[in-house]
Chain A
């Protein structure tokens, strides 16, 4: 049983560009959450998707948007990239509103 998978593993972008990160949840999980982890910090909640809708959102600007597909996979989009967006982006999945969240390996985004 594959766990949570994310792509790509690493990404380098330039300020002002746009980026799309992808996540496939663990089998049987229908809820996907995205977190941003800056260097030396704990993960910060960005948003959560359930039934293809954004269910909750953290304190992130509208430049951060997402989508969930019928197969429960999800994308995170970031527009107008800033240097401060450089971080490890983590995807977590869980079944429904269950409290056990399982994390993927993350996508390391570097903005130059």
Chain B
């Protein structure tokens, strides 16, 4: 079955770049996603990448996909204290819009 793995915690200083990593096992994954969850809230879709792409950039966010190694990363440039949250990596299979999530990475940004 599908499995998505993430490191559990990342701590950075304000203004630094953050890189959150994710590995997945399903080679047939169609889309890979990054969601953000703030305390007590639902999930906010940050960005997603189609599996035939290597990179996607959206303002401060850069997503890199290494399909050979089944590795996905999210880089946040100029990280702010408001970026402190849990970040989830997720994948979907071809023909299905349902998502398989990792356990999330808690990002703590200190001033």
Which of B42, B44, B48: most chain A Cβ within 10 A?
B42
Q: Which of A40, A44, A92, A105 contacts B41 (CB 8 A)?
A: A105
Interface size class of B (residues with CB under 8 A): 20 to 34
Q: Tell me if A79 is interfacial: C-beta within 8 Å of chain B.
A: no
| In the bound complex, CA of A101 to CA of B104 (Å) | 17
Within 8 A of A (CB), among B22-41: 30-31, 35, 41
Q: Which residues of B contact A33 (CB under 8 A)?
A: 97-99
Q: Which residues of A contact B102 (CB under 8 A)?
A: 42
Tally chain A residues at the interface, Cβ within 8 Å. Answer: 26
Q: Which of A31, A41, A48, A103 contacts B43 (CB 8 A)?
A: A103
Contact across chains for B30 and A42 when beta carbons are under 8 A apart: no
Q: Which residues of A contact B104 (CB under 8 A)?
A: 41-42
Contact across chains for A97 and B97 when beta carbons are under 8 A apart: yes
Q: Which of B44, B96, B97, B98 contacts A103 (CB 8 A)?
A: B44
Q: Which residues of A contact B45 (CB under 8 A)?
A: 100-103
Residue on B nearest A6 in the bound complex, by CB? B42
Q: Which residues of A contact B103 (CB under 8 A)?
A: 40-42
Least CB distance from B56 to A in Å reads 14
Contact across chains for B98 and A58 when beta carbons are under 8 A apart: yes
Q: Tell me if B63 is interfacial: C-beta within 8 Å of chain A.
A: no
Q: List 24 A-B contacts (CB under 8 A).
A: A33-B97, A33-B98, A40-B103, A42-B90, A42-B101, A42-B102, A43-B88, A45-B100, A48-B97, A56-B98, A58-B98, A92-B99, A97-B95, A97-B97, A98-B97, A99-B97, A101-B45, A101-B97, A103-B35, A103-B42, A103-B44, A103-B45, A104-B42, A105-B42
